[in-house]
Structure 1
Amino acid sequence: MIQTENVPCPCGSELAYGQCCGPLHQSKKAENAEQLMRSRYSAFVMQNTDYLRRTWHESTRPSQDDLAADPKTKWLGLEVRQHRSIDENEAEVEFVARYKINGRAHRLHETSQFVKENGQWFYLRGQIHE
């Protein structure tokens, strides 16, 4: 877990963790789907499964056991390719996340769907691009 607010944020923004994803991990609501997606990436990096569950829409949220952090995964970077608002309560974010498992490099290219309910954004589902 990141212990200081002044370290670079794992999501790759220009801001420090304490000014970027840190407040979201504590309780601040994301302002848009891209901000939520970036904070979820940081949560994967930090193995913060509680935050991932809180921000996953209840209709598609996996069980706690299915969301267990894999300590073998080393997250390497995030590239947000596109953030598209569909309307005020729906949005999509296309991204590429790079990671290694047991020294072997991988990349996850996904377009994620987000919904806003009662003023809070949630991850709904993602379409993985091959």
Structure 2
Amino acid sequence: MDERLDRTCPCGSGDPCRACCGRYLTGLGEGGAAPTAAALMRSRYTAFALGDVEHPSATWHPSTRPADLHLDDDTRWLHSSVGPTTGGGPFDRAGTVEFTAVFRGPDGRGELREHSRFVKENGRWLYVDGDVGVV
């Protein structure tokens, strides 16, 4: 395991990463299935913040997954928040999550807002796509 998982989770929960999103991370953690679409969204943000490219790729639906996924080394993810959700619960098959992530890049501070769509297949939530805006 990676020592980054002993720090406070980047998702903003205040919990140690290992006990929070780290348990779902594919490249750094255990790779367990997130129980809800919102939990998967938070773990995907955490993966980007920690540089775990395997987790976003492994949790991206095969029909929309990019052939190559590269993380931008010049982007530092600062914090995130999950807003309203529809569906996406433990017994649902689909759901949406409103998500905001604040970052600092070469051009300064920015905010990514996304209305993300998820499906549940074989007991695992997968990110399908989202309507993204950057401000």
TM value normalised by structure 1: 0.91
* C-alpha distance after superposition, 1:56-94 (max 9, x if no partner): 000000012xx1111100101101111221671001100
2:77 equivalent to 1:75: yes
TM value normalised by structure 2: 0.87
Amino acid at match of 1:33: A
Instruction: Report the equivalent of 1:16.
Output: 16
The whole-number CA distance in structure 2 between the counterparts of 1:108 and 1:102 is 15
Amino acid at match of 1:60: T
Amino acid at match of 1:98: V
Following TM superposition, the consecutive aligned residue runs of length 4 or more in structure 1 with deviations greater than 4 angstroms are: none
Contact 2:118 / 2:129 at 8 angstroms: preserved in 1?
yes
The whole-number CA distance in structure 2 between the counterparts of 1:37 and 1:10 is 12
Shift of 1:2: 5.3
Shift of 1:14: 2.8
Instruction: Report the equivalent of 1:126.
Output: 130
Unaligned 5+ residue runs, structure 2? none
Unaligned 5+ residue runs, structure 1? none
The whole-number CA distance in structure 1 between the counterparts of 2:80 and 2:22 is 17
Instruction: Report the equivalent of 1:41.
Output: 45
* C-alpha distance after superposition, 1:19-78 (max 9, x if no partner): 0011101221000000000000001111211111100000000012xx111110010110
Return the match for 2:108 from 104, 113, 116.
104
The whole-number CA distance in structure 1 between the counterparts of 2:125 and 2:46 is 16
The whole-number CA distance in structure 2 between the counterparts of 1:71 and 1:129 is 21
Secondary structure at the residue paired with 1:41? helix
Shift of 1:103: 5.5
The whole-number CA distance in structure 2 between the counterparts of 1:19 and 1:8 is 9
Contact 2:119 / 2:128 at 8 angstroms: preserved in 1?
yes
Contact 1:76 / 1:99 at 8 angstroms: preserved in 2?
yes
The whole-number CA distance in structure 1 between the counterparts of 2:122 and 2:5 is 29
Taking only aligned residues, the RMSD between alpha carbons, in angstroms, comes to: 1.8
2:61 equivalent to 1:57: yes
The whole-number CA distance in structure 1 between the counterparts of 2:124 and 2:73 is 29
